[in-house]
Chains A and B, each alone.
Chain A
Amino acid sequence: MDKSLVVSVVVPLRNGAEILPAFLGELAGVLKEAYYFYEIILVDDGSTDRTPRVVAELLRVQERVRFLQLSRPYGREIATAAGLETAIGDFVVVMDALTDPPAMIPDLVARCRLGSGVLCGISSEPEKSGLLTAWATRLFHTYCRKVLDIDYRENSTDFRVLSRQAVNAVTRIRDRRRYLRIFAATLGYQQECFTYQPRTAVNQSRGGLQERVEHAIEIVIAQSRHPLRVVSRLGLLMSVLNVLYAGYIVAIYFLKPDVARGWTTLSMQMTGMFFFLFLILAVLCEYVGRILEETQERPLYYVAAEQTSSVLLETSIEKNILNEAKAI
Chain B
Amino acid sequence: MTQSADAVVVGGGFFGMYLALLLKARGLSPVILERGPDFMLRASYHNQARVHNGYHYPRSLMTAVRSRVNFPHFLQDFPESIVEDFDKYYAVGRVLGKVTADQFETFMARVGAPLQPAPERVSRLFSSPLIEKVWKVREVAFDAGKLRLTMRKRLEEAGVEFYFEADARCLTHRADGAMELAVETNGGRRLYGTPWVFNCTYSGLNRLRYHSGLPLLPLKHELTEMALVQPPQELQNLAVTVMCGPFFSLMPFPDRGLWTLSHVRYTPHHAWKEGGSQSGTEAWQDAYEHFDRAVKSTDGPLMIRDAARYLPAMSKCRQEGSLWEVKTVLPQSELDDGRPILFHRDPEMRGLVSLMGGKLDNIYDIPQELAALGLGM
Contacts and interface: CB of A to CB of B under 8 A. Distances in A.
Interface in A270-328: 299, 303, 306, 308, 310-313, 316-318, 320
B232 to A, nearest CB: 18
Interface in A70-99: 85-86, 88-90
Contacts of A317: 290, 293-295
Contact of A316 (B95, B127, B294): B294
B309 interface: yes
B295 A39 contact: no
Interface string B88-129: 000000111000000000000000000000000000000101
Contact of B269 (A85, A171, A316, A318): A316
Nearest to A301: B95
Given A4-B301, A303-B96, A88 B129 contact: no
B306 interface: yes
A37 B319 CA distance: 15
Nearest to A4: B301
A174 B128 CA distance: 13
Contacts of B270: 310-313, 316
Contacts of A66: 265
A320 B96 contact: no
Interface residues of B, number: 24
Given A90-B305, A312-B270, A316-B269, A171 B129 contact: yes
Interface string B254-274: 000000000001000111100
B95 A6 contact: no
Contacts of B302: 6, 37, 39, 88
A172 interface: yes
Contacts of B95: 85-86, 303
Interface in B265-295: 265, 269-272, 290, 293-295
A6 B301 contact: yes
A89 B245 CA distance: 19
Contacts of A320: 293
Nearest to B263: A88
A285 B129 CA distance: 30
Given A312-B270, A316-B270, A317-B294, A306 B301 contact: no
Contact of A88 (B94, B272, B309): B309
B204 interface: no
Given A317-B293, A317-B294, A312 B272 contact: yes
A4 B96 CA distance: 27
A172 B129 contact: yes
Nearest to B308: A88
Contacts of B265: 66, 308
B195 interface: no
B129 A6 contact: no
Contacts of A171: 129-130
**Max chain B Cβ within 10 angstroms of own Cβ: one of A37, A66, A174:** A37
B96 A86 contact: yes
Contacts of B305: 6, 88-90
A156 to B, nearest CB: 26
Contacts of B246: 306, 308
Contacts of A303: 95-96
B295 A318 contact: yes
Contacts of A306: 96, 245-246
How large, as a class, is the contact surface on chain A?
Answer: 20 to 34
Contacts of B295: 316-318
B272 A313 contact: yes
B271 A310 contact: yes
Contacts of A313: 270, 272
A37 B301 contact: yes
A87 B91 CA distance: 20
B42 to A, nearest CB: 20
Contacts of A39: 302
Contacts of B127: 168
Nearest to B272: A312
Interface in B283-337: 290, 293-295, 299, 301-302, 305-306, 309
Nearest to A38: B302
Contacts of A168: 127, 309
Nearest to B127: A168
Nearest to A174: B129
A54 B302 CA distance: 26
A4 B246 CA distance: 23
Nearest to B265: A308
A85 B309 CA distance: 10
A33 to B, nearest CB: 16
A166 B315 CA distance: 17
A85 B94 CA distance: 11
A209 B73 CA distance: 73
Nearest to A319: B293
Contacts of A172: 129
Contacts of B306: 88
A124 to B, nearest CB: 34
A299 B130 CA distance: 11
A323 B265 CA distance: 37
A306 B309 CA distance: 18
A242 to B, nearest CB: 47
22 contacts: A6-B301, A37-B299, A37-B301, A39-B302, A66-B265, A88-B305, A88-B309, A90-B305, A168-B127, A303-B96, A306-B245, A308-B246, A308-B265, A310-B270, A310-B271, A311-B270, A312-B270, A316-B294, A317-B290, A317-B293, A317-B295, A318-B293
Given A88-B309, A174-B129, A306-B245, 18 more contacts: A4-B301, A6-B302, A39-B302, A66-B265, A86-B96, A88-B302, A88-B306, A89-B305, A168-B309, A303-B96, A306-B246, A310-B271, A311-B270, A316-B270, A316-B294, A317-B293, A317-B295, A318-B294
